[in-house]
Chain A
């Protein structure tokens, strides 16, 4: 293979920064995740001079690590060990070009009509019903190739879910994903070596680059600059990839600032910039998650779980009751850490991995509300959040449904992972204990990788941080374009909705610049 001549695009990586620097832009976008990448590309297409800033580096396939633990330590903030306080729950946010889309399972679902109607009714929103967002969903969907997972890459662990749902008469469907040419490697979490997943770093960011945007990686924004009631840019530190070691300072002057640093980092940036845009007092408040719980099922025949789309099938049957069911896979060490027992018992359970499938549920836990606050030093957040008893009920019901589907699909046992209950249940009758047993929040193994609402959108400036176009109520030229703007849980996987709303925000900014 011959050397250089990559196309002349303005992407900068850490090794290229030699000194402190200043850039000028019409619009500076902070964060290259699904929200920021869409805004950067759409504005570039509209002829706007954009500078996109990302703290993480680009990860090439040579940088991916198949090992779950090592990969997490490299691609996730706080090494993947970030947790909430109150109810202790791990929550992962990526630090990479492309943000969460680099490591997520590419699940794309439009938020149901009833959810968006409730957002409109309860948060004084006039243009956020499903019909209002449909064209934005479509534009994003077409660009990143969202389509249902074909059977040939489902693999048994996904198809068994469909079998179980069929037996019970539950609705199920192949998950629509932003992939092109998926090979069913089940390794979305550690980076798609097949280059099939259409994450932001291989879709929206290259498109923005081609259109003339400047993309600066390994730059950590530490503050929004303001003069009077206008934002004038951002400033921060150049950081070495993976270690975070500070090397230089930078500043970007811009007419419009867009914060898309994710719903944990954006409120911290606002708080650290003199409690900016917080006339409502809502910056960093209202933190919500879709806590996830999972059940492992053991089948009599080999399932060969390493083959198949990471998450290929779902059931939306219970979304109106507060939970969504899906199939799941991850690097084997990650499901394996859920196995109960130790010594020979643990080894025996591990030897069942080839016969195992894992299915999970995410809960619309709108009653469990937390907050994001900055630490005294650095930009990592302090997350306080408590899983409320009613929401524990939702998650326990979801566990029971998953057990039901496993047994209907022919599993001979399930491992629900609930403290205080038998680690392995061999029949649906045994699993019924989930109905009656008083499960506490600390009995569940939950994780919360879908997070939102910390800069929520509200029609009333005294009750929300941004308006429907993503513009901060308090600062005319400061926008937010990440999942922090959701007023409540979207009830299904958030990425597509976040991107649709960001697409609308880009349109609003383009109209004014």
Chain B
């Protein structure tokens, strides 16, 4: 029995090494943080979660999820970057343990057909294993953030960020922007507005009744 387990583990490890060494298509741009393999995984998963068509026209590919996630990784601390990378790796190689249905179900996630990818993600979502569900929720969260960051999607949903004329308060005389020096503070006391003067509700300011 122990021998069988060893063979299975060795085969899986071998498979994993072969898969990890595989080549990926050249990404559509150079990313600061994302590797070509990670960009491919993100693109494949985004297109699976957000296919073209329906009320929101843009697809996951239109939303350029890799660009968003590259920025997110760039502003994240190293430990978080590692966790996100492990998530992508787990998604790409989970088929070694939980193959997709149909022919070639053991292939990498990025090599599967659209239907097979969908089936893999659905199996994650409905798994009895909490860890597997957590992987699904984490991946979907990251991709949903990327998708909703895309201005055409925001426009379709009416959730574009407000345009706000930021008033100046006393504290703005004290703090430079991050990375700056006090000399970078652009305001003087004359610029400060009394707090109660700033309160026009945004829906009224935008001429909308909500």
Binding site for B on A (CB under 8 A): 1-7, 9, 11, 13-16, 57-63, 66-70, 73-74, 78-79, 81, 88, 97, 145, 152-153, 155-156, 180-185, 187, 193-196, 201-202, 205-206, 209, 241-244, 304, 306-308, 332-333, 336-337, 339, 342-344, 346-348, 350-351, 353-354, 419, 442
Contact = CB atoms under 8 A, between A and B. Distances in A.
A145 B169 CA distance: 15
B86 interface: no
B125 A342 contact: yes
Main secondary structure of the interface of B (DSSP, over half): helix
Interface residues of B, number: 78
B176 A13 contact: yes
A156 B204 CA distance: 14
A351 B182 contact: no
Given A183-B198, A195-B195, A202-B170, A2 B54 contact: no
A63 B148 contact: no
B161 interface: yes
Given A68-B145, A304-B210, A347-B56, A244 B77 contact: yes
A353 B157 CA distance: 7
B55 A347 contact: yes
Pick the most buried of A16, A155, A206: most chain B CB atoms within 10 A of its CB: A206
B101 interface: no
Contacts, number: 216
A88 B169 CA distance: 40
A70 B50 CA distance: 21
A392 B181 CA distance: 49
B8 interface: no
B20 interface: no
A419 B134 CA distance: 11
Given A15-B180, A194-B164, A342 B140 contact: yes
A78 B159 contact: no
Nearest to A1: B186
Contacts of A78: 77, 79-80
Given A332-B157, A348-B55, A353-B157, A5 B188 contact: yes
A162 to B, nearest CB: 16
Nearest to A205: B171
Nearest to B172: A60
Contact of A16 (B54, B182, B196): B182
Contacts of A6: 173-174, 182, 185, 187
Given A5-B188, A73-B75, 14 more contacts: A13-B180, A60-B172, A63-B178, A74-B75, A79-B77, A153-B201, A202-B170, A209-B174, A243-B77, A308-B210, A333-B144, A337-B140, A351-B54, A353-B157
